[in-house]
Structure 1
């Protein structure tokens, strides 16, 4: 389908999909129309059989969160933020977390509000050295959404999570990396090539196993050790009957590179 607020590119050779938020004049902030397009783009990525996804932004910012101009501030008819989140932001975060392929955020500039948490919902976050992350919600009297109150304490601890959320202070990419909030910082000029190279590498891996790793890691936040041990057992049993396990073992024995197919 034709898109206005995003761009979609799927490389048939590498099977890497790149989805670019494309409202650079608005720092790629979200409108409801953009949500609909992004949902359709993720459908396209899955239907095309992509084996890795890069999510990035056009221009000087990654995503500034919700575009306030898309909301109604008329007294008595103001946009219900809970309804907006329930219909658009929460389904997006859940879908990114559940995609059966590795998802890389290439944060090319400011990631603010829901834009910051959109990046954190991806599996791996690469950030340009000049990028920053801002939990800007408190500055307009709101609470972090799009998973922010879950991602932040999970990754950096309660003290730092509360500090970022309560002050709304900007966090540099380098500090985000040192705190363990994101995977890696790279020079601005190298961001897109590094993301493409990593996505290509991951697309060649056993993506069914990667999907299971994602599921297991995230389940651990709410499960006991006994529950997690049982989940690992069940996943290992299922993956042990897969093509990729058989191929991986055969390639190891034959001392050659494996040819994984995600099945």
Structure 2
């Protein structure tokens, strides 16, 4: 199991260039590792992630470069800070077949919540507040919301969330299907760890191929999806986990990987 902790607590874990670079490196390590089975992403301090750093934007320095000369960024600079840097985070997440769990507390706003939506599972403390807050500072949903949100809640609810920037409680977000589990604040760490631990003990090839089937199926016809899953089924039925699972059922016991 791996843990990635966003660690700019004095800025509510708003993005910086260093943070994004380290986040991408950590995700690439997870993607390439044969040892890591699950990754948990959380935030240090008072919240998960506030997304873009408003102080940096206010200086006209784009979305990441807080140290640049004030007002020095061009439109191309701002595009590249997104496309070549920030966007690499959710794109790299989509290259990882292992379960990715977002552990949310405090605030998950704008791009911060979009990064959580790019994870597979979102577990939130009950006091968590969530908002797609882009339009409040006059910008467009630049970090995946326009693509991710309609797949969760449909077009009308997406536009309502983006246009109004309303703040949702964790329970409200769960009711809409944006959050997987809501737990008491004091139970968040334990619940997330237990959830992840169960996944680490599961049949890893089947977990990875199931994730791949679900995500790739979003862009496939039903027939193509069934064709892909038949190939996956043929593969996993040759593996030890399958034979152990069958034996366990026949012997009326739990399989060794549970």
TM (norm. structure 1) is 0.86
Say if 1:102 and 1:207, in contact at 8 Å, map to a contact too: no
* Map of 2:73 onto structure 1: 77
Matched, 1:197 2:194: yes
Q: Distance in 2 between matches of 1:205 and 1:98?
A: 20
Q: 1:49 aligns with which of 8, 31, 35?
A: 35
* Map of 1:153 onto structure 2: 150
Q: Distance in 2 between matches of 1:60 and 1:170?
A: 17
Matched, 1:60 2:57: no
* Map of 1:12 onto structure 2: none
Pairwise CA distance, 1:241: 2.2
Pairwise CA distance, 1:55: 0.7
* Map of 2:166 onto structure 1: 169
Q: 2:138 aligns with which of 133, 136, 141?
A: 141
What is the RMSD computed on CA atoms of the aligned residues? 2.0
Task: Specify every segment of 5 or more residues in structure 2 that has no aligned partner in the other structure, as ranges.
Answer: 63-69
Matched, 1:218 2:203: no
* Map of 1:23 onto structure 2: 8
Q: Distance in 2 between matches of 1:189 and 1:35?
A: 29
Say if 2:129 and 2:170, in contact at 8 Å, map to a contact too: yes
Say if 1:100 and 1:208, in contact at 8 Å, map to a contact too: no
Task: Specify every segment of 5 or more residues in structure 1 that has no aligned partner in the other structure, as ranges.
Answer: 1-15
Q: Distance in 2 between matches of 1:77 and 1:90?
A: 18
Q: Distance in 2 between matches of 1:48 and 1:34?
A: 25
Q: 1:252 aligns with which of 236, 249, 254?
A: 249
Pairwise CA distance, 1:76: 5.9
SS in 2 for 1:100: coil
Q: Distance in 2 between matches of 1:104 and 1:158?
A: 25
SS in 2 for 1:77: coil
* Map of 1:105 onto structure 2: 102
TM (norm. structure 2) is 0.88
Matched, 1:91 2:88: yes
Pairwise CA distance, 1:70: 4.6
Q: Distance in 1 between matches of 2:231 and 2:80?
A: 37
SS in 2 for 1:257: coil
SS in 2 for 1:185: strand
SS in 1 for 2:15: coil
